[in-house]
Amino acid sequence: MDRYEILQNAIDFCEANLNDEITMSKLAEMSGYSVYHFCRLFQQVIGCGPMEYLRKRRLTNAAVEIASNPGLIKDIGFAWGFNSHENFVRAFKSQFGIAPSQHRETQSSLNLFHKVNLREPCTGQLFKNNAPSPRYAAKPSFKLAGFCFPTSRCRVGT
């Protein structure tokens, strides 16, 4: 299994268990990496850490539920894994810039964080390269003007 498959499996596990407690050690154990290397790999490929990914996904699902469910906001926060109402409101404001109650009142559009999918939409194959491959081109020689300063490795004029 390559690293993209491992990360997609971890993401799928997180998505299936968003309401449950998920630990870094559990994700790292599933991946076969140490916690340190799993975090580095996740950050490198996804762009945020695993716990930040979970928090953003939980807040996104909570925002959708707040807009459609007339229940208490604190109960929605508890349902999505936040241990206090204050913690939930603080995280919601940090993520979306408005309080959950304002979101419910105004039904404002938010910048939601959707599930990351490392598979191509048409084929279902995993993306092997998230970054474009380098392109090498031959260029004609050119002159460079500037100041010359001696360094410890190269002495000019000696």
Q: Which domain holds residue 69?
A: 3-106
The reply to whether 136 falls in a domain is no
Which of 11-25, 48-62, 71-85, 127-141 comes out lowest in average pLDDT? Answer: 127-141
The reply to whether 36 falls in a domain is yes
The reply to whether 40 falls in a domain is yes
Residue 3 φ then ψ, to 5°: -65, -30
Asked if 35 and 43 count as a contact pair (C-beta separation under 8 A), the reply is: no
**What total of structural domains would you count in the chain?**
1
The reply to whether 143 falls in a domain is no
Residues 6+ away with beta carbon under 8 Å from 26 = none
How far out from the chain centre does Cα 32 lie?
20
Residue 123: pLDDT band (50, 70, 90) is: low
Residue 12: pLDDT band (50, 70, 90) is: very high
Each residue's pLDDT tens digit, 24-48: 999 999 999 999 999 999 999 888 9
The reply to whether 23 falls in a domain is yes
How far out from the chain centre does Cα 8 lie?
13
The reply to whether 78 falls in a domain is yes
The reply to whether 83 falls in a domain is yes
Copy the structure tokens of residue 99: 């309080």
Each residue's pLDDT tens digit, 57-113: 999 999 999 988 888 998 999 888 888 999 999 999 999 999 998 888 887 788 888
Query: What's the CATH code of the domain at 63?
Result: 1.10.10.60
The reply to whether 33 falls in a domain is yes
CA atoms within 13 A on the CB side of 118: 21
